[in-house]
Amino acid sequence: MKLAGVVLAAGLGTRMNSSASGGLPKVLHKLHGTTMLQHVLNTLHKLKPQKIVIIVGKHFKEIKESLQDVSKPSFAQQKEAKGTGDALLKALPSLRSFKGTVAVINGDTPLITPETLKKFLSLHEKSMNTISILSFVSQQPSSYGKVMRHERGNVLSIVENRNATMSQKKIKEVNSGIYAIEPEGLCLLKEIKLNESKGEYYLTDIVSIARDKGIKVDAFCIGSEDECIGINTREELDRARQLMKDRIIKRWLYRGVTFVDTNSVFISSNIHIGRGTIVYPNVHLEGNTKIGKRCTIYPNVRILNSIIGDGAVIKDSTLIEGSVVKRKASVGPFAHIRPGSEIGAGARIGNFVEVKKSVIGSGTKASHLTYLGDAKIGKDVNIGAGTITCNYDGYKKNITTIEDNVFIGSDSQLIAPVKIGKGAYVGAGSTITNDVPSKALALSRVEQKHFESWAIKRQLKVKSEQLKVKGAKSKERRSKRKVQSERSKVQSAKS
Ligand code: UD1
Ligand code: CA
């Protein structure tokens, strides 16, 4: 089947009440790290259409900028949101040279799966319909267009809720906003009349127009409510988020991942997790993160856009961003791996260690209280507690190079640019400003002095000072008593 996709995304999304969040267009609200529109595009992309057209409105720029470059869509603009019928009409110039089936999807239907779309399109093809609609049975049909059927089952029209009679409102088969339309059907768009009650051109009116002309149109009720949910309000967005979360968690449970508590993990839709990995509560895996096999991710960890190798252990309360942690490495607790870092196989990054844009060789250990920024660190290096790479001179960032098998003593400062040669030692408490040759010991702390018997002399001094104070106090008391007795003598003489 020759296929093109059209995504309707030019609506104003008034029911989302987004003016407070900078007027974010509805289709750019996110579900598990990916916008609604991108979810729809990713799904559509799996059907391998020859072309994808997105109908955009006044938020053209934001929408274009938000897209990940998977499907390379083209855009058509609907300057005024005059309804879904008018929106699809705007796609026609981009489809002029396309002769095939056009799959139309509302941009606010992010949970639809490629499997259901494929099934729908093959039913459309087999039935040789000019227009097909994907419908589903809804338990809350009030926000959807109702599918009107003749008693023999043929579709007559779609009636929007606001235009429906009381008995029509009870109909549970509703329109998903997903259509398959042949070129002949697209020609009918021009015939859609303005719906006076809303002041919009309803795409759904194409059904009755086609029927009146004897053009073959039908609805296939193959969708489920969980897949076809259309998002108009934040409440519906939250419901869709929950549904998507359940779907993501189920996928990984099925593939052999253990979650200690499925309720308290957040996993974005693009994540990959290897078999045998254990994920503890309150873990956030975001962006394009890949977690290897048999890893352990302890509580309160957030990992985004990173790759974690097989068997790695990420301990409690750790943040890893835009980095690679190789197999069997251990990071945390309370570590921060900032973008552009690579933690080598079997390396250990421990408590309160921050690593920024640095390469840490395999088997290297920085176990406590350390900052490693813009550093190139070799294999089997030991970084002592409190080591700091002083990478910033106030103008630019400088590189610290530490070659294989180096030992950096605790509380050392390495003033970059500086290089510590292979197998060298840096004594604890050193401030290293010059390159250290391979195998050397570098020491740059003030030499220790001993003052013999200093403690005894100090004790004697303190004691003699205490005696002096004591003597002065008793002298004062004696003189006070003397004054007192003189006074009482004078008093008794007077009386
Ligand atoms: C629409 C259908 C309804 C269906 C429901 C499924 C119509 C008239 N109604 O209703 O039958 O049950 O979807 O979820 O089509 N859009 C534009 N330009 C516009 C208006 C809308 O591009 O001028 C886009 C929106 O961005 C959105 C999509 O079309 O992605 C659907 O619009 P929306 O207003 O949400 O339609 P519903 O009222 O949900
Ligand atoms: Ca909608």
Report d(CA 390, CA 386) in Å as an integer: 12
pLDDT digits (tens, 9 = 90+) for 190-235: 999 999 998 999 999 999 999 999 999 999 999 999 999 999 999 9
- The pLDDT mean for the chain works out to 95
- Structure pTM? 0.86
Average pLDDT over residues 316-338: 98
Confidence label for 68 from pLDDT (cuts 50, 70 and 90): confident
Q: Are strands 155-159 and 194-195 parallel, antiparallel or unpaired?
A: unpaired
Q: Are strands 194-195 and 200-201 parallel, antiparallel or unpaired?
A: antiparallel
Residue type, position 157, single letter: S
What is the 112 CA–ligand 2 centroid distance (Å)?
13
User: Which residue among 63, 84, 205 has the greatest number of ligand 1 atoms within 8 angstroms of its CB, and so is best to mutate?
Assistant: 84
Q: What is the largest CA-CA distance in the chain?
A: 141
Coil, helix or strand for 104?
strand
Higher pLDDT, 456 or 495: 456
**What does the block give as tokens for 38?**
């991108």
3-state helix, strand, coil in the chain (%, to 5): 30, 30, 40
| Residues 6+ away with beta carbon under 8 Å from 124 | 101, 132, 180, 220
Q: Is 158 in the pocket of ligand 1 (CB under 6 A)?
A: yes
Ligand 1 atom closest to residue 83's alpha carbon, by position in its atom list: 23
Please tell me the residue having the least CA distance from ligand 1 atom 11: 145
Q: Is 295 in the pocket of ligand 1 (CB under 6 A)?
A: no
Task: Single out the residue of 377, 369, 365, 368 nearest to residue 341, CA to CA.
Answer: 377
Q: What are 441's strand-pairing partners? A: 425
What is the 142 CA–ligand 2 centroid distance (Å)?
12
**What does the block give as tokens for 127?**
């039935």
What is the 142 CA–ligand 1 centroid distance (Å)?
14
Q: What are 442's strand-pairing partners? A: 426
**What does the block give as tokens for 369?**
């209280």
Report d(CA 309, CA 295) in Å as an integer: 8
Is the pLDDT reported for residue 19 higher than 70? no
Report d(CA 363, CA 209) in Å as an integer: 71
Average pLDDT over residues 12-32: 83
Q: Is 240 in the pocket of ligand 1 (CB under 6 A)?
A: no
Confidence label for 176 from pLDDT (cuts 50, 70 and 90): very high
Q: Is 289 in the pocket of ligand 1 (CB under 6 A)?
A: no
Q: Is 311 in the pocket of ligand 1 (CB under 6 A)?
A: no
Confidence label for 22 from pLDDT (cuts 50, 70 and 90): low
Count CB-CB contacts under 10 A for residue 367: 16
**What does the block give as tokens for 444?**
């740059």
Please tell me the residue having the least CA distance from ligand 1 atom 14: 230
Task: Single out the residue of 370, 338, 365 nearest to residue 353, CA to CA.
Answer: 370
Report d(CA 128, CA 195) in Å as an integer: 29
Burial class (CB within 10 angstroms; exposed 0-12, middle 13-18, buried 19+) of 396: exposed
pLDDT at 13: 85
Angle (nearest 5°) at CA 316 between 315 and 318: 85
Is the pLDDT reported for residue 21 higher than 80? no
Phi and psi angles of residue 400, each rounded to the nearest 5 degrees, phi first:
-110, 125
Confidence label for 71 from pLDDT (cuts 50, 70 and 90): low
What is the 242 CA–ligand 2 centroid distance (Å)?
18
pLDDT digits (tens, 9 = 90+) for 375-432: 999 999 999 999 999 999 999 999 999 999 999 999 999 999 999 999 999 999 999 9
Whether 368 is catalytic is yes
Q: Is 78 in the pocket of ligand 1 (CB under 6 A)?
A: yes
Report d(CA 159, CA 33) in Å as an integer: 34
Average pLDDT over residues 1-26: 86
In the set 32, 39, 284, 368, the catalytic residue is: 368
Please tell me the residue having the least CA distance from ligand 1 atom 12: 144
Which numbered ligand comes closest to the C-alpha of 237? 2
What is the 231 CA–ligand 2 centroid distance (Å)?
5
Confidence label for 280 from pLDDT (cuts 50, 70 and 90): very high
pLDDT at 70: 63
Omega within 30 of 0 (cis) for the link into 183: no
Average pLDDT over residues 283-307: 98
Is the pLDDT reported for residue 120 higher than 60? yes
In which residue are the tokens 């979650």 written? 259
Phi and psi angles of residue 413, each rounded to the nearest 5 degrees, phi first:
-115, 130
Please tell me the residue having the least CA distance from ligand 1 atom 31: 106
Dihedral over alpha carbons 253, 254, 257, 262 (to 10 degrees): 0
Q: How many CA atoms lie within 13 A of 158 on its CB side?
A: 29
Phi and psi angles of residue 418, each rounded to the nearest 5 degrees, phi first:
-155, 150
Using an 8 Å Cβ cutoff, are 5 and 54 in contact?
A: no
Report d(CA 330, CA 313) in Å as an integer: 5
Per cent of the chain over pLDDT 70 is 99
Average pLDDT over residues 143-168: 94
Confidence label for 12 from pLDDT (cuts 50, 70 and 90): confident
Is the pLDDT reported for residue 293 higher than 90? yes
Q: Is 81 in the pocket of ligand 1 (CB under 6 A)?
A: yes
Coil, helix or strand for 371?
strand
Q: Is 87 in the pocket of ligand 1 (CB under 6 A)?
A: yes
Report d(CA 255, CA 85) in Å as an integer: 42
pLDDT at 378: 98
Phi and psi angles of residue 437, each rounded to the nearest 5 degrees, phi first:
-65, 155
Higher pLDDT, 473 or 69: 473
